[in-house]
Amino acid sequence: MAEPKRKERPAAQLLQGNVAAAEAAIRAGCRFFAGYPITPSSEIMVRMAELLRERGGAFMQMEDEIASICAVAGASWSGAKAMTATSGPGFSLMQEGLGYAYFTETPLVLIDVQRAGPATGQATHVAQGDVMQFRYGSHGDLFPIALVPWSVQEMYDLTIRAFNLAERFRTPVFLAADEAVGHLRENAVLHDDYEVVDRVRFGDGDPFGSADPAGVPVMPAFGDGRALMVTGSTHDPKGFRKVDDPNVHDALVTRLMRKVMDHADEIVEVDAHLLDDAEIGIVAYGISARTSIAAVKRLRAKGVKAGLLRLKTLWPFPEREIARLGERVRAIVVPELNKGMIAGVVRGCTRARVLSITQTNGKTIDPSRVVRFAEEMS
């Protein structure tokens, strides 16, 4: 009898980050994409147009970003895994639609490839200035999920994870990419040994309520015969608008918070490098974590005990991991491509000394800046 063929792991290939994200979306089951061109995210849309044509599904270049996010939410309610991609100014336009998707518990994935702002800023240059827009961009109390890739491989891996989390928690999930990672070209493996989470579409229970106060309700699709009432106004578990009932509003907002925050352990991922004996802890994310790992290596070669805590999840914020780090190191350094947005959040999680390295010139931080900074401190 012939030996069964062993499934071979696909070979690594040279890929752009944005293209890897599009490939991942298709493999995670995405069958709808709507978007509007904006640098530096457009390669995602262009690749999705090709892939959806080849693999089946619907692609629509909409008239603007507002229409794009609304179309993605509409497609999700028709049962499709759906995605859009954009950058800062487009992300701002999408905030109202994202709030709607959050409040109606509509799974979708949004990739924001950050560029330098405010306003139209520097369209082709890198920044990490949208990190608060993921968290606080839309009005009302929202508890979003945002993952942050640092490599082309993670543009692939974390896009798949974003779809899985969107379906698992029935909520919009962000991929907080940046221009440098989106436009980076490096080897990545488009592997297929991952779990794919599908929507719980059929089952008992109401479409907007759950017996568990942190529960995720079933989500039937349009056409399933459930006469769904979907509204962005305050609604009861069946979907009836109940805008004047304080208890209904509070229960809904609280459940949506607990649905994410009570499961933070399942969502939050960090990556520790050389932290066991570290005296200086660097906390970084995205392309600035690439800078930081290079700096850690140089510092170690000079005898400075530095280590890196890399954030793979930005929101919910890895508060507990930061607190633990703060107990072990003399100081925490946070290099980032904005004026210290995440450094401020880190300060709220620890009594340790937190120092911020900021850069807003459209360039990545050179590792030598982090090395010099850490040397002066030690």
Partner 1 sequence: MTRAMEQYLRKGLKGTAFCPGCGHGLLLGSILRAVDRLGIPQDDLLFVSGIGCAAWIPSPNIGTDTLHTLHGRAIPFATGAKLANPKLTTIIASGDGDLTSIGGNHLIHAARRDLDVTVICANNQIYGMTGGQTACTTPVGTHTATDPAGNVFRPFDVCRLVKAAGARYAARYPVTRPVELIDAIEKAIRIKGFTFVEAISPCPTQYGRRNALGDLAKLYEAVDASCVTAEEAARLGEDERRRRFVVGEVVS
Q: Please, what is the minimum distance in Å from the beta carbon of residue 161 to partner 1?
A: 23
Stretch of 198-206, 222-230, 256-264, 370-378 contacting partner 1, by CB under 8 A:
222-230
Binder of partner 1 out of 232, 257, 294, 377 (CB under 8 A) = 232
Q: Does 218 bind partner 1 (CB under 8 A)?
A: no
Q: Please, what is the minimum distance in Å from the beta carbon of residue 114 to partner 1?
A: 24
* Size of the residue set binding partner 1 (CB under 8 A): 43
β-strands 145-147, 172-178 pairing: parallel
Q: How far apart are CA 276 and CA 294, in angstroms?
A: 18
Q: How far apart are CA 111 and CA 259, in angstroms?
A: 22
Tokens of 113: 């490839």
Q: Which is nearer to partner 1, 64 or 212 (CB)?
A: 64
Q: Which is nearer to partner 1, 211 or 243 (CB)?
A: 243
Q: Which is nearer to partner 1, 32 or 156 (CB)?
A: 32
Residues 237-266 that bind partner 1 (CB under 8 A): 238-241
CA nearest neighbour of 127 among 22, 39, 47: 39
Report angle CA 95, 61, 31 to the nearest 5 degrees.
85
Q: Please, what is the minimum distance in Å from the beta carbon of residue 240 to partner 1?
A: 6
Residues 21-40 that bind partner 1 (CB under 8 A): 31-32, 34
10 secondary structure, DSSP code: P
Q: Which is nearer to partner 1, 226 or 263 (CB)?
A: 226
Tokens of 188: 């990545």
Residues 51-110 that bind partner 1 (CB under 8 A): 58, 60, 62-64, 66-68, 70-80, 82, 96-97, 100
**DSSP letter for each residue of 271-330:** EEES-TT-SEEEEE-THHHHHHHHHHHHHHHTT--EEEEEESEEES--HHHHHHHHHH-S
Q: Please, what is the minimum distance in Å from the beta carbon of residue 73 to partner 1?
A: 6
Residue 322 in contact with residue 271, Cβ under 8 Å? no
Tokens of 65: 């970003």
Residues at the site binding partner 1, with contacts judged by CB under 8 A: 31-32, 34, 58, 60, 62-64, 66-68, 70-80, 82, 96-97, 100, 221-233, 238-241
